[in-house]
Amino acid sequence: MNDTEREAYLSYLRNRRSSHKINYYQESLKEIADYHREHPGKKPSILLHACCIVCACWPLEFLKENGFDVTVIYNNSNIWPQEEYDHRRQELQRYIKERYQDEIPVIVPPYDYEEYASRVLKNRGTDPEGWSSCFGCYGERMGSAFRYADENGFDWFATVMTFSRQKDSQKINEIGLSLGRKYSHTKYFASDFKKADGALKSDRICNAYCIYRQDYCGCEYSYHERHQQVK
């Protein structure tokens, strides 16, 4: 990171703390109410991008409670190593099977960390977590899932990444809203799944279902940073 990039990063952190924030949780409640008023009796379909079941379990409850027909997509070539990718996928599929039987399909596109890292994570070795490489990483996975949603006629697309306290949900929603402008059919469902005690609700579900909780975001850089901190 050079001096200009460092200054841009520090300025982003200052603005992130002080800037006016949109309450996307309230926005999502309003969106749901508007939809049901305009389409009485209709069950909207939604494709939900999920990176792990810890982040996804509460959003799934929330969307089901609010009348959505949910399909999950696990497109996360950012996760390293493959054993970890497989473990998170298996936990996601196990929980969904136990909790919802066959009610929620799970789509799993091909996994290729090497290809993903060489294309998307080129600068992640010098970028800190939560900065521009991560924005690219959010956008890449949301973009490919959004394209799938539009091609397959889903009414909405959402991501569970707004659940994470480590991620900037304002930024994630900006990316989602911008992606949404490219598509004619599928709309972006802006969210903030950590609001209204989302973390507490997720905790209860994870405890009840003995869900595996990873301690790093996903890529090899986040793994090494996390384990360096622990040492």
Per CB under 6 A, residues contacting ligand SF4 are: 78, 121, 124, 129, 133-134, 137, 217-219, 221-222
96 vs 142, beta carbon nearer ligand SF4: 142
23 vs 123, beta carbon nearer ligand SF4: 123
Minimal distance, residue 99 CB to ligand SF4, in Å: 26
Stated length of the chain: 231
Rounded CA-CA distance 14/156 in Å is 33
User: Within 10 A of 126 (CB to CB), how many other CB atoms are there?
Assistant: 12
Minimal distance, residue 230 CB to ligand SF4, in Å: 16
- One-letter amino acid for residue 38 of the chain: E
Q: Which of 217, 11, 18 is nearest to 129 (CA)?
A: 217
Minimal distance, residue 167 CB to ligand SF4, in Å: 7
Q: Angle of helix 24-38 relative to helix 169-180, nearest 10 degrees?
A: 40
Minimal distance, residue 55 CB to ligand SF4, in Å: 12
Rounded CA-CA distance 45/68 in Å is 6
- CB of 171 closer than 8 Å to CB of 138: yes
Minimal distance, residue 138 CB to ligand SF4, in Å: 6
92 vs 137, beta carbon nearer ligand SF4: 137
Rounded CA-CA distance 190/23 in Å is 10
Alpha-helical regions (H) of the chain:
3-18, 24-38, 53-65, 82-100, 113-120, 132-151, 169-180, 198-208, 220-230
52 vs 104, beta carbon nearer ligand SF4: 52
61 vs 143, beta carbon nearer ligand SF4: 143
Q: DSSP string of 87-149?
A: HHHHHHHHHHHHHHTTSS-EE-----HHHHHHHH-TTTTTSPTTSHHHHHHHHHHHHHHHHHH
Minimal distance, residue 137 CB to ligand SF4, in Å: 3
188 vs 221, beta carbon nearer ligand SF4: 221
- One-letter amino acid for residue 41 of the chain: G
Minimal distance, residue 204 CB to ligand SF4, in Å: 25
28 vs 133, beta carbon nearer ligand SF4: 133
